[in-house]
Amino acid sequence: MKKLNQEMNDLFHRSMDSHLRLAVTGLSRAGKTAFITSLVNQLLHTSTHDNLPLFAAARDKRIIGARRVPQDNLMVPRFAYDEAMDSLNGSPTAWPEPTRDVSEIRLAIKFKRTKGARRLISKESTLYLDIVDYPGEWLLDLPLLSLSFEEWSAKQIELLKGDRKQYAQDWLQENESVDLMVEGNEKLLANVSARFTDYLHRCKEAGLHWVQPGRFVLPGELEGAPVLQFYPVDHSKQTYENADKHSGYSLLKQRYEEYKKNVVKAFYKQHFSTFDRQIILVDCLQPLNVGPEAFNDMKMAIDQLMDSFKYGKSNFLRRLFSPKIDRLLFAATKVDHVTPEQHTNLLSLLQQMVHPAWQHTSFEGIEMQCMGIASIKATDAGFVNSQDKSIPAIQGIKLDGNELTIYPGEVPRKLPQREFWEAFDGKPAFEFHSFLPKPNPSDEPCAHIRLDKALEFLIGDKV
Ligand SMILES: Nc1nc2c(ncn2[C@@H]2O[C@H](COP(=O)(O)OP(=O)(O)OP(=O)(O)O)[C@@H](O)[C@H]2O)c(=O)[nH]1
Ligand SMILES: [Mg+2]
């Protein structure tokens, strides 16, 4: 009898538990790994430290404790938290390695209930939080679903201007020698596709974010698969209407269609439809450092990401899968790269960037917020005196190990226009440096800026 009661008690408590899947997205190098590492680290420490004052449940001491538990989804790699912490706590300290694929981590957060009927029955509950890290580039493939091979090709060819055209030279040259009307030669097509992929990599290395198809630069488990061996074709130079079904042209077209069906659609169905909440991390400072082309390119990529959230009733996405994201957070990352009085400008810039999509009426039922955060604070802010003037500055250790104290520059409040860039004569307008993480005792939580505010928005209503 006692055993039965115990089992019933356990069952009862389990029924009080809740479950949330959080997607952490951002374009390449936006700070996803740092964010997840710090989020896990903060939650693991919060029962013993006052590290999250803006996260009400932690501030009010309602979090009893958090621990990592095995994830449900055995097909997705585990998020490398321990490896990331080893890098941050190493000597010298280092940032975690770049990631290339989807990964996942599950936390069990035990907390005291405060409100609602459940409080009367059970005083403690557990929130199971699944955090999924996946490359934002994969969301850039969404428009492919509504584009034919001809339409997609036309868009890609149109982009070949300025720097992009230069990066594409090898691919375009290799392309010249292929007759797509004759029977398809797999090896030849693989070669030209490899040059096209090189071109996309070059764009990415130059700080451009609009890189499509996204899997070409981050193939994950599809590395070397023929479904990643196609490239856009210039239909204005030649007509392919009469291409034989065994021709090179038809092969490219088939692969494009396969990619849409088995890569893009499959990704949305498998992952996207299971999320409850999403954070999109944006590093606005990096493209400001590089120049107008990089900045506009990132804006285009962000617009594209936002399209994934336009769940209009007639939207084909709604029909394709049933998204249930009800909260979406946009976070400008690495705010510790600028002096504190610039944080409001950075936030305003981010708000401008996402404004058109935010306004879109089809954001039915999705709550959105913007904020500036530093997942792992690598600098100290202060003032330096120069000629009777006090100038704000940040101080940190550069990647070469030397200390640097600097005023990195003013962040524009609004989307920078042509005059803004001209004023800087083609030189970077800012000096945003990368810093090494600060050494931190391993039993202390990482220093952060407003990660608690992000947590409050993302899970505050669930604990
Ligand atoms: N100062 C500072 N730098 C950060 C912070 N977060 C990330 N960084 C820097 O940004 C780089 C990229 O961060 P990651 O967390 O690896 O970014 P990611 O989005 O996971 O990158 P990929 O996995 O390569 O797409 C790090 O190596 C750091 O140099 C932060 O909070 N503060
Ligand atoms: Mg990463």
pLDDT attached to residue 179: 94
Read off the pLDDT of residues 402-433 as tens digits, 9 standing for 90 and up.
999 999 888 999 988 877 787 766 565 677 88
Indicate whether 139 pLDDT > 90: no
Question: Ligand 1, atom 21: nearest CA belongs to which residue?
Answer: 29
Read off the pLDDT of residues 65-103 as tens digits, 9 standing for 90 and up.
999 999 887 878 899 999 999 999 999 999 998 887 889
Q: Give the C-alpha separation, 190 to 194, whole Å.
A: 6
Phi, psi of 224 (to 5 degrees): 80, -5
CA-to-CA separations, 309 to 28, 60, 210, 278, 321, in angstroms, rounded: 19, 34, 18, 10, 12
Indicate whether 130 pLDDT > 60: yes
Q: Give the C-alpha separation, 431 to 405, whole Å.
A: 12
Indicate whether 258 pLDDT > 70: yes
Look over the chain and give the mean of its residue pLDDT values, rounded to a whole number: 87
Could you give the angle at the alpha carbon of 80 between the alpha carbons of 76 and 81, nearest 5°? 125
pLDDT attached to residue 4: 62
Q: Give the C-alpha separation, 295 to 301, whole Å.
A: 10
Say if residues 126 and 57 touch (Cβ distance below 8 Å).
Answer: no
Which whole number is the average pLDDT over 442-462?
96
Could you give the count of Cα atoms lying within 13 Å of 409 in the half-sphere of its Cβ?
A: 13
Torsion 334-338-340-345 (CA) sign:
negative
H helix runs in 182-274, sequence order: 186-205, 214-217, 248-258, 266-270
Query: Within 10 A of 237 (CB to CB), how many other CB atoms are there?
Result: 7
pLDDT attached to residue 312: 53
Q: Which ligand neighbours the alpha carbon of 87 most closely?
A: 1
Q: Which ligand neighbours the alpha carbon of 26 most closely?
A: 1
Query: Within 10 A of 78 (CB to CB), how many other CB atoms are there?
Result: 15
In the reported structure, the alpha carbon of residue 365 is separated from the centroid of ligand 2 by a whole-number distance in angstroms of 29
Q: State the closest ligand 1 atom to the C-alpha of 374, by its place in the atom list counted from 1.
A: 31
User: What residue type is assigned to position 234 of the chain?
Assistant: D
Q: Which residues line ligand 1 (CB under 6 A)?
A: 26, 28-34, 95-96, 98-99, 135, 333-334, 336-337, 374-376, 378, 434-435
Q: Are strands 277-282 and 18-26 parallel, antiparallel or unpaired?
A: parallel
Q: Pick the more confident residue, 362 or 453.
A: 453
